[in-house]
Amino acid sequence: MNVRSALEYVPYFCGRLFVVHVAAGLLQAEELVDALLDADALHEVGVRLVLVAEGDGAALLALRAGECEMHTAVAELPLTAGAAAVARVREIVERRQVALVAAGAEGRFHEACVSMALALGAAKYICLQVGEVPSRAGTPMFSVPESEVEQHLADCSYPGTLLQAAKACRQGISRVHLLDGMRRGVLLDELFSEEGVGTMVHADSYREIRPLRVEDIPELLSMIARSMADAKLVHRSYESIAENLKSYYVYTLDDTIVGCVALYPYPGDSCAELGCLFIKTSYEGRGYGKAMCRFVEDKARSMGFSRIFAISQSAVDYFRDRMHYDPLPRSVLPATRLQALESSGRASAVFGREL
pLDDT tens column, 302-338: 999 999 999 998 889 999 999 999 999 999 999 999 9
Per-residue pLDDT, averaged over 211-216, amounts to: 94
269-315 pLDDT tens trace:
999 999 999 998 877 887 889 999 999 999 999 999 999 999 998 88
Task: Supply the pLDDT for residue 6.
Answer: 59
The residue with greater pLDDT, 154 or 10, is 154
Task: Supply the pLDDT for residue 143.
Answer: 83
Question: Which among 80, 130, 124, 88 is positioned nearest to 105, based on CA atoms?
Answer: 80
The arrangement of strands across the sheet holding 17-22 comes to 72-74, 98-102, 48-53, 17-22, 124-129, 175-180, 199-202, 143-145
Task: Supply the pLDDT for residue 99.
Answer: 95
- Residues contacting residue 21 through CB under 8 Å, at least 6 positions apart: 52, 54, 103, 108, 113, 125, 126, 127, 128
* pLDDT class of 68 with cuts at 50, 70, 90: confident
Q: What is the pTM of this model?
A: 0.67
CATH of 3-202, one of 3.30.479.30, 3.20.20.10, 3.40.1160.10, 1.10.238.10: 3.40.1160.10
The verdict on domain 208-354 having CATH code 3.60.21.10 is no
Task: Supply the pLDDT for residue 100.
Answer: 96
Question: Is residue 4 over pLDDT 80?
Answer: no
The residue with greater pLDDT, 234 or 80, is 80
- C-alpha 177/C-alpha 200 separation (Å) is 4
Percent of the chain clearing pLDDT 90 (strictly above): 68
What residue ranges do the domains of the chain occupy?
A: 3-202, 208-354
Give 124's Cβ-side CA count (13 Å radius): 26
- Residue 307's alpha-carbon distances to 227, 297, 298, in angstroms, are 27, 9, 11
